[in-house]
Amino acid sequence: MERVAGEQFLIPGETCWRSERADSLRIIIDGADYFTAVKRAMLEARHTIMMIGWDFDTRIEFEPDGQTMDGPDTLGDFLVWLTKTREDLQLYMLKWDLGTLQSLERGMVPIAVRPMRLARNFHFKLDTEHPTGAAHHSKMIVIDDQVAFCGGIDMTAGRWDTRDHLDEQPCRVMPGDGEPLKPWHDVTTAVSGSLAGVLGDLARQRWYRATCDRLDPPEDDGGAPAWPDLETTFEDIPVGVARTYPDYKDFPEVREIEALYLKAIAEVCETFYVETQYLASARIARAIAERLAEPDGPEFVIVLPHEAEGWLREKAMDGARKRLLEYLWANDPHDRFAAYYPVTEGGAGIYVHAKVLTVDDRLLRVGSSNLNNRSMGFDTECDLAIEAAACDDPGAVSETIMGLRRDLLCEHLDVSAQDYDATLAQEGGLIAMIEALRGDGRSLRPFTRNGVNGDASVLAENEFADPEAVGDGLADRLAGGLHDLLENAGLESEED
């Protein structure tokens, strides 16, 4: 694809917070590689490790398929070991308090940090500083302000899987009881250089918001970055950091992530490819529909899980997805929109937790945000974005962006890069290529008008599950939404 010039995507103060150079940036696909990389980087830490996340489960193993690295292999034992063997190393863990929303879900395991809390160099905080019903959803680990991880993968149960996504995977089990877990697809990043320091600043801001305790950056002792023996996807490039923050106390609302999504939809020329856990933002759907109406507009391809995880999400988020898919199909006069879900060789759904976007060959973004209302203005999110035109060698970056999209789709379709390239050249478009390569066994399956799950009911627009912003009367709106959810589930009578 020839790169088409357009308006700038990454505008500090509008579509991103800051732009900073990364010496190295690696796109990490799926949890097995991520957990290994995190442990390797932590083993090289000299001053600080900051862990900022939606959830942490201290029982998970870094290498369930066979330990090769020093130190204990479970997260909790490893952190205890670090506090004892590296007394000068300061560890900070900031975890969302999970709140009412998650208390309705099944299978949530509270973190066990008591052994670490006895150590003076381990600092743990449950982050309650958010609006009622909101979540701290960003996922970051920053090591010495020199290496950082930022994206969609949580260090919790159920995230470990290989890119094979086997039907029978003995290592993909719930810690403790060994219950088999579903195949899981996810994406995150590892970065080094000045960008890691920017993510360190963001992590310290989050710590301050939660604790009112200001942390100083770690000293720069001139040591080499703890790059965790990874290949690099990009080298020496500028990267934008986009955030979502809700309006809360003295902190104003930040909607950079939404602004960047809308800018990307407005500026895409040929191909908008996105992997997301949810499709529930009406504002995003309307923006896509406007582009679908154009006679020569771009293609939009969305990869989603077949169904949401947990009762509340299944009822509320799948219902919203059903409505928005029906809306987009009804507003697609030129057949340029398609939505798919991946399945294993045996036909089981592979859960899509990744949050990744490519726009033509011009923009790549990976982060924690989904295409739902919460990610646009209610939860705390952080995405990284690379714009080819802003780089020293735009052509090489464009090729890498297209290569990443190829890599992801080859994983989903279980085809070779050669077959992908040949079929794309023959068919001329991404949707036609996917349709030509889809097969039995492990592949992508299309959502269809008659086959999409979800209740077209009050649950599809329930603000308790997916509020768009804080606004006036938030507590009353959420209380009303919770009442409707419980009543629909048979947990509360009309008279209660």
- pLDDT tens-digit map of 202-254: 999 999 999 999 999 998 887 777 788 888 999 999 999 999 999 999 999 99
H/E stretch holding 204 reads helix 194-211
SS3 at position 135:
coil
Same domain assignment for residues 29 and 99: yes
Residues 401 and 423 in one domain: yes
Considering the domain architecture, whether residues 227 and 255 belong to the same structural domain is answered as no
pLDDT single digits (tens) 30-75:
999 999 999 999 999 999 999 999 988 889 999 999 999 999 999 9
Q: Are residues 339 and 195 in the same domain?
A: no
Q: What is the pLDDT along the chain (496 residues), one digit of tens a residue?
A: 344 556 799 999 999 999 999 999 999 999 999 999 999 999 999 999 999 999 888 899 999 999 999 999 999 999 999 999 999 999 999 998 874 445 444 334 445 555 566 689 999 998 999 998 888 999 999 999 999 999 999 999 999 999 999 999 999 999 988 999 999 999 999 999 999 999 999 999 999 999 999 999 998 887 777 788 888 999 999 999 999 999 999 999 999 999 999 999 999 999 999 999 999 999 999 999 999 999 999 999 999 999 877 545 555 677 889 999 999 999 999 999 999 999 999 999 999 999 999 999 999 999 999 999 999 999 999 999 999 999 999 999 999 999 999 999 999 999 999 999 999 999 999 999 999 999 999 999 999 987 665 544 444 444 445 566 556 555 444 444 444 444 444 434 333 3
- Of 205, 237, 269, the residue that ends a domain is 237
155 located within any domain: yes
495 in any annotated domain: no
Q: Is residue 83 part of a domain?
A: yes
Q: Do 296 and 376 reside in the same domain of the chain?
A: yes
Identify whether residues 118 and 66 lie together within a single domain.
yes
| pLDDT for 106 | 36
Nearest one of 15, 69, 14 to 38, comparing CA atoms: 69
Domain boundary among 210, 237, 264: 237
Residue 460 lies in a domain: no
Write the DSSP symbol of residue 348.
Answer: P
Same domain, 228 and 261: no
Half-sphere exposure of 334 (CA within 13 A, CB side): 13
Residue 479 vs residues 17, 103, 467: alpha-carbon distances, Å? 33, 15, 12
Looking at the fold, whether 105 and 147 belong to one and the same domain comes out as yes
Angle between helices 417-427 and 394-413 (to 10 degrees): 100
Domain count, the chain: 2
* Alpha carbon 419 to chain centroid, angstroms: 28
Residues 209 and 339 in one domain: no
- 103 falls within a domain: yes
Domain range enclosing 296: 250-446
pLDDT of 474 reads 52
Q: Are 148 and 38 in contact (CB under 8 A)?
A: no
Whether residue 272 is found in the same domain as residue 313: yes
Last residue of a domain, one of 198, 214, 237: 237
Give yes or no: residues 152 and 33 share one domain: yes
381 vs 355: CA distance, rounded Å: 11
Residue 494 is predicted with a pLDDT of 35
* Global confidence as pTM: 0.90
Asked if residue 13 belongs to a domain, the reply is no
Q: 152 and 185: one domain?
A: yes
Cβ contact 421:406 at 8 Å? yes
Q: Establish if 85 belongs to a structural domain.
A: yes
In the block, tokens 């191909």 appear at 271
CA dist 442 and 444 (Å) reads: 7
The CATH number of residue 150's host domain is 3.30.870.10
Structural domain contains residue 484: no
